[in-house]
Amino acid sequence: MHDIVIIGAGPAGSMAAERLAARGLDVVVLEEHEEIGAPVHCTGLLGEEAFAEFDLPASLIFARASAASFWTASGQSIRIDSDRVRAAIIDRGELDRHLAERAASAGASVRVGQRVARVAVHSDGVSVTGAGGEVRARICVLACGANYRFHRTLGLGLPAAHLLSAQLEIGFPAAPDIEVRLGRDVAPEGFAWMVPFERAGMARARIGLMSKSSAGPRFERFASALASRAGVSAPAQAPRLKMLPLGPVPRTYADRVVAIGDAAGLVKPTTGGGIYYGLLSGTIAADVIGRALETGQTDASALRAYELGWRSRLGSEIQAGLRFRRIASGMSDASMDALVTLARVDGVVPLLKEHASFNWHRKAAIALLGHPAFRRIVFKSWARSAGSA
């Protein structure tokens, strides 16, 4: 009987494992893939302040970005840069391996090739059954990413909304900025992106797309258009496809169980980014679980403190992001053009620069929604949509 079994060795799972093992607890981490950090399903953007907060090494950083160009369906664009908002483009696979090594160094047992098929809660513990047989523990942590096959039976539920994403890293000519493409034909209710960087001295890019439907075919069209514009061949590889939750599952705790990171639906609703929320939720979960095991109280009433903890830190951010996403996803291409025009002439860009933060989006969303001209464009778009319905 171990103290904790953690399903998944991504950033959230390994962060929780390290913190719990450092308390002297018996921690087992079960990673379904044969190699930690592969395959990569993530663009690998992380606000620079997270490196100090979670003691991450600068060697993980390929490049730094402080600007992005936004393009509408009609070809209008605007470039937004800010010295206050700096994102690190990181080696996501190496981040996973680094955090797993830290967890192992703290005393956790990290096992690869251990796909879990069943999680069952008993009065005296949890049994996790999979490729390596049965593992029993006092508490189970779900850190299995956007994979919800255990959630219904454990009473956690599913994310209320989600998008589909497709992504690929390829060799690509050097580009000055991150590029974001908007438009209903490109990515309905989402957007497409190109993030340039260098790996081993070679120019590369991570290209991706998140949309309501048909992420794979839409990605292929977007990637082909990027390649044609750059004068290179379209990528031959297929992208990695993934479900992207847009908000928390109804409940992130149960008797002897907590869910963290993407498995809890804890991502930024505006962009789908989940690394920072994963690291933070893993930290909060470790503190709550550590106290629960000290007192011997491992039922839902004790583990509820975990949900209260992440809601205290992230609840207002997530709610503001969800409201902003609902508004943005309903806007027409013409309204997006109007917003770009507004940004050029009416001081919206300085407003964004003043309030923007890579990891925290609430202040920028509130500032935009408080701008009278922005609200007028949103209202007109909503009125036209309601009228056509």
Instruction: Concatenate the DSSP letters of all residues of 20-71 into one string.
Output: HHHTT--EEEE-SSSSTT-S--S--EEETHHHHHTT--GGGEEEEE-EEEEE
Residues 117 and 222: their CA atoms lie apart, in Å, by 36
pLDDT for the residue numbered 248: 96
User: When comparing pLDDT for 109 and 353, which is higher?
Assistant: 109
Q: Which two tokens stand for residue 376?
A: 């007028």
Q: What percent of the chain has pLDDT over 90?
A: 68
Model confidence over 244-258: pLDDT tens digits? 998 999 999 999 999
Supply the DSSP symbol for 185: T
Asked if residue 254 lies in contact with residue 303, where contact means CB atoms within 8 angstroms, the answer is yes
Q: Which amino acid is at 254?
A: A
pLDDT for the residue numbered 385: 58
Asked if residue 252 lies in contact with residue 156, where contact means CB atoms within 8 angstroms, the answer is yes
Q: Where are the beta strands (DSSP E) in 189-347?
A: 191-199, 202-211, 240-245, 253-254, 257-259
Q: Kindly state the helix (H) or strand (E) to which residue 164 belongs, with its residue range.
A: strand 162-171
What is the per-residue burial (b if ≥16 Cβ within 10 Å, else e) of 350-374?
Answer: ebbeebbebbbbbebbebbeebebb
Asked if residue 302 lies in contact with residue 253, where contact means CB atoms within 8 angstroms, the answer is no
If you average pLDDT over residues 36-47, what whole number do you get? Answer: 90
pLDDT for the residue numbered 41: 81
pLDDT for the residue numbered 292: 97
Greatest distance between any 2 Cα atoms in the chain: 64
Other beta carbons within 10 angstroms of residue 326's beta carbon come to 13
Other beta carbons within 10 angstroms of residue 190's beta carbon come to 27
pLDDT for the residue numbered 382: 66
Model confidence over 317-341: pLDDT tens digits? 999 888 888 888 888 888 888 888 8
- The DSSP secondary structure of 297-339, one letter per residue, reads --SHHHHHHHHHHHHHHHHHHHHHHHHHHHHHHT--HHHHHHH
If you average pLDDT over residues 378-382, what whole number do you get? Answer: 73
Q: How confident is the model at residue 45 (pLDDT cuts 50, 70, 90)?
A: very high
**pLDDT higher than 90, residue 66:** no
Q: Which two tokens stand for residue 363?
A: 């202040």
Residues 334 and 183: their CA atoms lie apart, in Å, by 9
If you average pLDDT over residues 6-19, what whole number do you get? Answer: 98
- CA-to-CA separations, 129 to 66, 133, 134, in angstroms, rounded: 45, 6, 4
Instruction: Write the CB contacts of 306 (distance below 8 Å, at least 6 apart in sequence).
Output: 252, 253, 258, 284, 285, 288, 289
Exposed, middle or buried: residue 90 (CB in 10 Å: 0-12, 13-18, 19+)? buried
